[in-house]
């Protein structure tokens, strides 16, 4: 299945702004109360601001022209109180929406992170971590900015504009019509250019993701870069990504700034029209000075929000482009779903592969016609030349991927019928490069064993002793409290494998896969591991992938995996012959 976010099919990618907005609103439905309160605040705010010019016009015509200054003072006071309340409602709205934005940011980031946890390994093979980080951090923040700073301003501006438009038309219909002509031009202009602006922003966000992917890759590989003195190579790649980002940012900036000057020009044209037409009407005696003062204020009240809308529209377009990138992740469905039992095929082995085929990309087949049986309590070894398909087979055993054809059965049932929890409880997998979290040895052991969360250090030590893992723990200077920094070199790869080993053994899985788990461990520790493995529950099935044949001496059965095919190797000596033969072939 295609999980590459930057190469989704057009149908997956194309979403109308309306649909995207609808889903976004569903996501923030918990904020309904705050949104309503903020909406009321902004409506009151706009209403108060709209009443202002009417009162000013009334004051000019009724009191200033008749020189009744007492009335001027009274209306001045009323206006002051009104504007004060307008300020209060404006502040309330800003505060409410700031909270909504932050909570939404939190909800969205959690939703994306949870989705990332659900997605299969192939998703992470096809997407760069840097781009995903950019979506989780940068794109969600763009949405937050829109929600906390722009949304209510957006609504407020529209309300003020509509209100001012009604006043303009109701005071004098012809003058109103003349004043609104530039607005029609603005609307048409916006409609035509908006898709282009959104596209420019989407390209820019994509290149920000690309750049962060480059940074992430070079930071991850800095040792290789230094060891091979390939700074120039990564510098060039970063330079290209940075240049691309610069180019797209210029494009997006140009697109984002095109509305403001055009809106400014057209609103000035509207003011001028009103002034000239208004003076003409006054000279003909069909209009008053007070009305013209109100009128000019309303025209300003109409066009100023429109100008603001230009900036807000840009922020809206950026937010929508970000939302598209976020929803691309949220809409993905894992293809490793739990299914109901579909076929009648069954098995009496702990695990069985029945005519399994597998391909990572849907084109090149990596495993062909695999038939394997793992019985309860037995030890199996997978050997074979590098690239032969051992790790791929192990990945299918633990359902990191699904077979392209054929069936993998666990306890006689299709492995796909188990929930992820059931499956991981039954199958333990120690990877070639185990992943550890920043924290102590204890934290890392507990990570895979939540059942021991509540136990004390002494109790945990007791549990470790009972599992015969004491000697392994003793290798760490500070025992359970030894600090580990994820990705750092505070401990060796071999030590990491030992922690992963303890973590997996304590789960007491029915089937334990060790993928080259002893490759980085000295001979003495390796003997220790092998004695622990021998003492494992008689019920535990072991699948060992190893290059070093001494690690698999005790295997009940040896499978030879070469060029995607699996054969029984029989004795160790025969396995060795096959390996030598296989190596010559490959
Ligand atoms: N994530 C992946 N995407 C595409 N192809 C892959 C992926 N992982 C492995 N392959 C390919 O699948 C084939 C089998 O690889 P696999 O890692 O299973 O071999 P292996 O026998 O475990 O090798 P090694 O002993 O070197 O670990 C190789 O040709 C490899 O290039």
CA distances from 552 to 365, 391, 517, 546, 561 (A): 28, 16, 12, 7, 15
| 104-149 residue pLDDT tens | 888 888 888 888 877 888 788 788 888 888 888 888 888 888 878 7
**CA 101, CA 123: separation in Å to the nearest integer?**
29
Asked if 27 and 347 touch (Cβ cutoff 8 Å), the reply is no
CA distances from 136 to 323, 367, 502, 512 (A): 11, 35, 33, 34
Quote the mean pLDDT of the chain.
83
| 397-432 residue pLDDT tens | 989 899 999 999 999 889 999 888 888 889 988 877
Pick 460 or 219 by higher pLDDT.
460
386 lines ligand 1 (CB under 6 A): yes
Ligand 1 centroid, distance to 205 Cα (angstroms):
33
Asked if 361 and 475 touch (Cβ cutoff 8 Å), the reply is no
Ligand 1 centroid, distance to 366 Cα (angstroms):
8
Q: Which of 534, 526, 474 is nearest to 505 (CA)?
A: 534
Mean local confidence (pLDDT), 83-91: 91
Q: Please, which residues have CB within 8 angstroms of residue 246's CB and are 6 or more apart in sequence?
A: none
Q: Ligand 1, atom 7: nearest CA belongs to which residue? A: 360
390 lines ligand 1 (CB under 6 A): yes
**CA 402, CA 386: separation in Å to the nearest integer?**
22
Q: Ligand 1, atom 31: nearest CA belongs to which residue? A: 387
Output the pLDDT for position 585.
45
Ligand 1 centroid, distance to 393 Cα (angstroms):
9
Ligand 1 centroid, distance to 392 Cα (angstroms):
6
Residues in the chain, overall count: 586
Assign domain 14-330 to a CATH class: mainly alpha
In the DSSP assignment, the letter for residue 149 is: I
* Token duo for residue 368: 């062909």
Ligand 1 centroid, distance to 510 Cα (angstroms):
25
In the DSSP assignment, the letter for residue 518 is: T
Alpha-carbon dihedral angle through residues 430, 435, 436, 438, given to the nearest 10 degrees: -170
Output the pLDDT for position 313.
77
Mean local confidence (pLDDT), 374-393: 89
Ligand 1 centroid, distance to 564 Cα (angstroms):
10
384 lines ligand 1 (CB under 6 A): yes
Q: What is the DSSP string of 500-516?
A: HHHHHHHT--SEEEEES
- The phi and psi torsions of 379 (rounded to 5 degrees) equal -115, 130
Domain 351-585 has CATH 3.40.1800.10: no
- Sign of the alpha-carbon torsion through 109, 115, 119, 122: negative
**CA 338, CA 359: separation in Å to the nearest integer?**
20
Q: Ligand 1, atom 1: nearest CA belongs to which residue? A: 125
Q: Is pLDDT at 95 greater than 50 in this prediction?
A: yes
Ligand 1 centroid, distance to 388 Cα (angstroms):
7
Q: What is the DSSP string of 429-477?
A: EE-SS----SEEHHHHHHHT-GGGTT--HHHHHHHHHHTT-HHHHTTST
* Token duo for residue 565: 């095919």
392 lines ligand 1 (CB under 6 A): yes
Ligand 1 centroid, distance to 581 Cα (angstroms):
20
| 27-72 residue pLDDT tens | 778 888 988 998 899 889 888 888 888 888 888 888 887 888 888 8
Output the pLDDT for position 11.
54
360 lines ligand 1 (CB under 6 A): yes
Asked if 306 and 334 touch (Cβ cutoff 8 Å), the reply is no
Q: Ligand 1, atom 2: nearest CA belongs to which residue? A: 360
pLDDT band (50, 70, 90) for residue 586? very low
| 309-365 residue pLDDT tens | 777 877 887 888 888 888 888 888 877 788 887 677 777 889 999 999 999 887 889
Q: Where are the domains of the chain?
A: 14-330, 351-585
Asked if 503 and 450 touch (Cβ cutoff 8 Å), the reply is no
Three-state secondary structure along 26-77?
HHCHHHHHHHHHHHHHHHHHHHHHHHHHHHHHHHHHHHHCCCCHHHHHHHHH
Paired with 354 in beta bridges are 407
Mean local confidence (pLDDT), 213-219: 81
Pocket test for ligand 1, best of 391, 398, 586 (most atoms within 8 A of CB): 391
Asked if 15 and 327 touch (Cβ cutoff 8 Å), the reply is yes
**Ligand 1 nearest atom to the CA of residue 384, by list position:** 21
| 251-280 residue pLDDT tens | 998 888 888 888 888 888 988 998 999 999
Ligand 1 centroid, distance to 116 Cα (angstroms):
23
pLDDT band (50, 70, 90) for residue 12? low
**Ligand 1 nearest atom to the CA of residue 432, by list position:** 27
586 lines ligand 1 (CB under 6 A): no
Q: Which of 518, 540, 537, 539 is nearest to 527 (CA)?
A: 518
Output the pLDDT for position 92.
92
Pocket test for ligand 1, best of 387, 403, 515, 567 (most atoms within 8 A of CB): 387
| Of the ranges 350-364, 477-491, 532-546, the best mean pLDDT one | 350-364
In the DSSP assignment, the letter for residue 581 is: H
């Amino acid at each position: 299945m295609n999980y590459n976010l930057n190469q989704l099919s057009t149908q997956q990618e194309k979403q109308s702004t309306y649909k995207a907005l609808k889903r976004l609103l569903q996501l923030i439905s918990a904020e309904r109360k705050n949104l309503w309160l903020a909406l009321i605040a902004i409506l009151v705010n706009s209403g108060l601001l709209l009443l202002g010019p009417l009162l000013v016009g009334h004051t000019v015509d009724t009191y200033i022209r008749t020189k009744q200054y007492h009335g001027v003072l009274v209306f001045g006071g009323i206006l002051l109180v009104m504007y004060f309340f307008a300020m209060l409602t404006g502040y309330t709205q800003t505060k409410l929406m700031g909270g909504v934005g932050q909570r939404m940011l939190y909800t969205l980031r959690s939703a994306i992170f949870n989705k990332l946890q659900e997605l299969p390994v192939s998703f992470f093979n096809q997407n760069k971590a840097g781009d995903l980080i950019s979506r989780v951090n940068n794109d969600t923040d763009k949405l937050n900015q829109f929600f906390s700073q722009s949304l209510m301003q957006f609504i407020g501006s529209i309300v003020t504009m509509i209100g001012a438009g009604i006043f303009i038309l109701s005071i004098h219909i012809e003058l109103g019509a003349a004043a609104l002509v530039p607005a029609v031009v603005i609307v048409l202009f916006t409609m035509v250019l908006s898709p282009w602006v959104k596209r420019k922003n989407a390209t820019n966000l994509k290149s920000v993701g690309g750049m962060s992917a480059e940074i992430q890759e070079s930071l991850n590989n800095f040792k290789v870069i230094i060891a091979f003195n390939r700074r120039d190579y990564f510098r060039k790649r970063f330079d290209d990504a940075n240049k691309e980002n610069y180019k797209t940012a210029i494009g997006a900036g140009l697109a984002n700034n095109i509305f403001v000057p055009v809106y400014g020009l057209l609103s000035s044209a509207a003011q001028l029209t009103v002034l000239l037409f208004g003076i003409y009407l006054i000279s003909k005696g069909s209009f008053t000075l007070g009305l013209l003062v109100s009128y000019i204020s309303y025209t300003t009240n109409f066009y100023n929000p429109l100008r603001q809308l230009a900036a807000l529209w840009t922020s809206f377009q950026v937010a929508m482009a970000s939302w598209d990138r976020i929803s691309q992740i949220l809409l993905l469905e894992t293809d490793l779903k739990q299914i109901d039992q579909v076929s009648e095929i069954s098995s009496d082995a702990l695990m069985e592969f029945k005519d399994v085929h597998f391909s990572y990309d849907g084109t090149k087949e990596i495993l062909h016609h695999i038939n394997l049986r793992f019985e309860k309590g037995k030890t199996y070894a997978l050997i074979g030349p590098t690239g032969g398909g051992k790790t791929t087979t192990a990945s299918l055993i633990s359902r990191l991927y699904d077979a392209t054809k054929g069936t993998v059965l666990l306890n006689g049932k299709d492995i796909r019928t188990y929930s992820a929890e059931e499956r991981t409880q039954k199958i333990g997998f120690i990877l070639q490069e185990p992943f550890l979290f920043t924290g102590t040895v204890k934290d890392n052991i507990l990570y895979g064993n939540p059942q021991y969360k509540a136990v004390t250090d002494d109790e945990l030590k007791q549990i470790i002793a009972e599992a015969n893992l004491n000697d392994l723990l003793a290798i760490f200077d500070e025992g359970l409290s030894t600090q580990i920094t994820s990705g750092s070199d505070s401990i060796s790869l071999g030590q990491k494998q030992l922690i992963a080993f303890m973590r997996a053994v304590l789960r007491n899985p029915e089937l334990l896969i060790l993928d080259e788990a002893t490759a980085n461990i000295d001979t003495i520790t390796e003997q220790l591991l092998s004695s622990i493995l021998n003492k494992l529950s008689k019920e535990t099935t072991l699948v060992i992938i190893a290059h070093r044949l001494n690690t698999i001496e005790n295997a009940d059965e040896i499978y030879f995996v070469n060029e995607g095919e699996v054969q029984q190797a029989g004795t160790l000596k025969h396995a060795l012959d096959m390996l030598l033969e296989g190596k010559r072939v490959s």
